[in-house]
Every structure is written in C-alpha cells, then in structure tokens.
Structure 1
Amino acid sequence: MSTENRFQFAKSAALDEVMLLKASMSDFSYGTHAHEEFSFGVTLSGRQDFFALGEYHKSYAGNVIVFNPEDAHDGHSGGESTLHYKMLYIHPDQLVPMLESAGVHQAKSFRVEKVLQDDAQLRSHILGLAA
C-alpha cells in the first residue's frame, strides 16, 4: 500500500466561506474533531472509515458524507486501497441564505440527520460545486 498522503485545500472564488478539500490517503487518520461549517463530501475511491454520531461508518466509492457544524467525528482510510475523496466546507452564514432561497423552512436550524448517504442527486450537486 502506498504511504503517500495528499491534502489540497482551495477557497472558492465565487462563493464566500466555501472551501474544498481534495484528499488522497492510505495511512493517515484524523483524530476526533469537529468543524464550524457544514461538511459535504463524496468518497471517490477506496473506503473511508469513521466514527460519528455514536456509530461506526464505512463510506465506499460513491457514498456521500455529511457533517453538521460541531458534529464530532474521526476518520481514516479503510481497506487496502488508497482513499480519494472531496469535501466541501460551507459556513452556515453561506448555506442558510442558499437554503432560504430554495424554499427550505427553518433554514437557520437546518441539520442533516443521516451522516452517510447513497444519494446520486446529492453526490452530483456536491461534485458539481467542487468542480
């Protein structure tokens, strides 16, 4: 297994308070931490294992991972293949107006209840924003 780990952050030129992480990792792990932003990610290849919201999760290629602000989680590559994923970090100050314009009621108290999802439409939107 390769031991090369790469993490590339890019700030959006078009959207304030939106950051993209492109990551490749084979022998790296994140300790338990949380973000002040919403985190929307897609596992591109490999597998990402993590503990969040009281459960262990395994995200395979194509799965979507969503963390609300302040949701504590850890993470590491699982299996033998190198993990590749993209993660968007969107501050609530940026996301709430987007949700309100989309007609989401109670956008200020918006939370995603399911951390690991297999949702083709959401995956497409995340990857489109990441591009």
Structure 2
Amino acid sequence: MNEFTFKNAINITALHAKFDDFMYKTHAHQEYAIGVTLNGIQAYNLKNDFILNHSNGVMFFNPEQNHDGMAYNNQTLEYVMLYIKPEQLLEATNLKDLYQFDKPNVYDETIKHNILRLTSAIFNEEPDDVCYGLFITLVDSLQVDNSHLFTQIDDKKLILAQEMIKKQLADKLNIDNIAHYLEMSKYQFIRFFKRQTGITPYQYYINYKVEMAKHIIETYKDVYWAITECGFVDLTHLNKCFKYRYGVTAYQYMSQFK
C-alpha cells in the first residue's frame, strides 16, 4: 500500500502520503517542507541524527537539507506535507534572509492545526483568497517573524481597504489590486487587515456579500436577485454562506417574510 497524492494552490504544493514498505532515498528539496504525521511513526536521518516523528508531530525541513524517510518498523505511516518556496515564505514575513528551522520536529497543537487546515483547503480546492489567509495564519504561528510592520491601527488605510472590497461586491475579490494601491505586498495586506479587524479580507468580503443579500431578501423578497446582485455562483452557494452565519439558508430566511 503506497499512496501519494499531490495538489497545488497559491504556489504551495500539498502532499498526502500513506505507505508501509516504501523508503525515500536521501534527497533534499528546494522548498521548505512542513508537515504533520497523522498515523504511525515517521523515521528519517537528518544531519547525522536518526529522528522519529510520532503521530501529531510537526516536521520541518529547510531548503537543501538532505534527509531520507521511512515508516518505522514497517508500520503504516500516514502524513501530510506542505512544500513552500523560500521566496514565498520571505514575502509572507518581514525577514530579509532565509530562515532556518533549528528543530526538526515539535509537538505544537496550533501549528499542527494550521498545517492541516491549509492542507485541507488546498485539497478541497477552496478559493485562493481563503488559502492565502490560512497561509498567513500558519506563518504567524511559526513565529519566524518577531518584528511587525504594522504596530498601530491605521484607520485611513483600513477604511479605504474596506471600501475597495465593498466595490467588488458582484465581482471576484482582487486582493492584489487592493494591496498594490495601498503600497503593500499581498501578504502584508492580508496580515495588516487581519490585525485590524480580526478576519481576513476574504472573510470580510464574504460577510459583506451575505449582509447585502440579506438586505435584498428583506426588502424585495427575491433570493435570486440577491444571488445576481451580490455575485454568488448559485442558490447553493448563497445558502451555504448564509446558513454558516445565520443558522438558516437564504431561502428559509426569505420564507419568513412571505
């Protein structure tokens, strides 16, 4: 039983692997490799050390770091891994030089959760803006960046960003354009927005779309007009977003006004 599944989104490659009798030969990646052992024990040689990563353990491999890999004692091993380009990690932080993880593995519930959440989003083909927000959350939990570019609330930039998001109500959210206008990188903007509001730009965008749809439903009793005006794909899409926030679907909500 040797299963290897790859998926790519936002230039990050996610791997889900499950095997018992397979062994990686010594190799190195150009990217950072960050993963979680789901079941079994992962064994590998790294810098003359023999390392065991148990279930729920987080693994770190730096670029160009030679290692092998195998299932310990031929037990079934299952794990996920994210391959992140060095320049992408640098852009997501305020660091100028490559960061080197000094511990090959840790047991940290927050980091583990953030790796699994981003991996799930990539495999489930969630929107890129969702994946970008989850990537920032993961990077922040790694604590590779101890200097924060934004230390005080910048009301003018935040208000401008919110207004630009609202203008994209019926369109696909374009974070790159907003970030460029505010003279930030995409990752700086996502981090800035989340620090000021507690949510990512994409979450704010979806919340606003749902609020506007709710207003249309209350005013005109027309759920399909809400779908068109607020840029939802279809009724299923609107219902899913609506129920997540209000506990009922948009259609169920509309029926209360008839």
Per residue, is there more strand in 1 or in 2? Answer: 1
Give the TM-score of the pair, scaled to structure 2: 0.45
Q: How far is the alpha carbon of 1:109 from its aligned partner?
A: 2.4
- Residue 127 of structure 1 pairs with residue 116 of structure 2: yes
Q: Counterparts of 1:1-131 in structure 2 under 5 Å?
A: 4-12=1-9, 15-16=10-11, 18-100=12-94, 106-131=95-120
The 1:21–1:120 alpha-carbon spacing in structure 2 relative to 1, beyond 3 Å, is same
Say whether the 8 Å CA contact 2:21–2:74 is kept in structure 1: no
Partner SS, residue 30 of structure 1: strand
* Gapped regions of structure 1 (runs ≥ 5): 101-105
SS of equivalent residue, structure 2 residue 30: coil
TM-score, normalisation: structure 1: 0.87
CA distance in 2, matches of 1:98, 1:89: 15
Structure having greater relative contact order (Cα 8 Å, sep ≥ 6) = 1
Count, aligned residues: 120
Q: Which has the higher helix share?
A: 2
Q: Deviations over 1:13-46 (max 9, x none)?
A: xx12x10010001000001000000000100001
Q: Secondary structure at the match of 1:126?
A: helix
Helix, strand or coil at the partner of 2:56: coil
Any conservation in 2 of the 1:46–1:79 contact (CA below 8 Å)? Answer: no
- Higher Cα radius of gyration: 2
RMSD: 1.1
Q: Distance in 2 between matches of 1:80 and 1:49?
A: 10
Gaps of 5+ in 2: 121-258
Give 1:53 deviation, angstroms. 2.2
SS of residue in 2 equivalent to 1:57 = strand
Using the alignment, how far apart are the partners of 2:75 and 2:48 within structure 1? 26
